[in-house]
Each structure stands twice: as structure tokens, then as C-alpha cells.
């Protein structure tokens, strides 16, 4: 699996989730994925970006929301089961045509 970021039409932080890492839970997501996100937001603090992710349970757990708050990373809160509101899904479907 690949977790990637698109910002202003450019590829930004990304990580391949290898099988050796096992299933993604909030602890692993925090350690592997959010570490890169935090670094990106520190480097681009003046840009005014907002972090967007889907509603996977490990992504929207209390632990993750707390970490985003403590790191002062603004993020979009999607209502549960809202694939139509999640632009990530639309971007992915669009990108599949170009890969």
C-alpha cells in the first residue's frame, strides 16, 4: 500500500506500507505516516495547508486527532461513511487513468 501526498500539483511526503509492518493501526499510523506529515507542515508552516485523510478508524482515532492538535496541524473532519465528500478518492480515480 502507498500513502502519498499531493500539494499544489506536486508530489510530497509518501511512504510504502510494506507487509512486514502488518496492519495499520493508530499507533503505527502515528509513527510512520504522521511523522512525515508533521515534518511537511513544519517546513511549510506559512503556506496555510490543511491535512486531509479518509475516515479509516486508525486515521481518525482519538490518539491521531490529539496528535494533530498538539502538532497544530489543521485537518478536515469528514462525517462517517462519506466517500462522496472525500476528494482523495476522486483524485485517486483520476490518477489511475494516468498511471
User: What is the separation of C-alpha 4 from the centre of its chain, rounded to a whole number of angstroms?
Assistant: 7
CATH number for the domain harbouring residue 7: 3.30.420.10
Q: Show the domain range for 10.
A: 2-96
Could you give the 3-state DSSP secondary structure of residue 62?
helix
Domain count, the chain: 1
Burial class (CB in 10 A: 0-12, 13-18, 19+), 68: buried
Residues 57-74: tens digit of each pLDDT: 777 888 888 998 998 888
Residues 3-34: tens digit of each pLDDT: 666 677 666 667 777 788 888 888 888 888 88
Q: What angle (nearest 5°) sits at the alpha carbon of residue 95, between those of residues 90 and 96?
A: 100
Calpha distance 22→31 (Å, rounded): 13
Q: What is the pTM of this model?
A: 0.67
Q: Which residue has the cell 482515532?
A: 61
Residue 34: count of CB within 10 angstroms of its CB: 21
Amino acid at each position: 500500500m502507498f500513502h502519498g501526498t499531493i500539494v499544489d500539483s506536486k508530489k510530497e511526503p509518501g511512504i510504502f506500507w510494506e507487509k512486514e509492518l502488518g496492519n495499520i493501526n493508530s499507533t503505527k499510523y502515528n509513527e510512520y505516516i504522521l511523522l512525515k506529515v508533521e515534518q511537511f507542515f513544519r517546513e511549510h508552516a506559512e503556506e496555510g495547508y490543511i491535512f486531509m485523510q479518509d475516515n479509516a478508524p486508525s486515521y481518525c482515532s482519538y490518539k491521531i486527532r490529539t496528535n494533530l492538535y498538539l502538532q497544530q496541524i489543521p485537518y478536515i473532519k469528514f462525517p462517517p461513511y462519506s466517500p462522496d465528500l472525500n476528494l482523495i478518492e476522486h483524485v485517486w480515480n483520476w490518477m489511475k487513468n494516468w498511471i
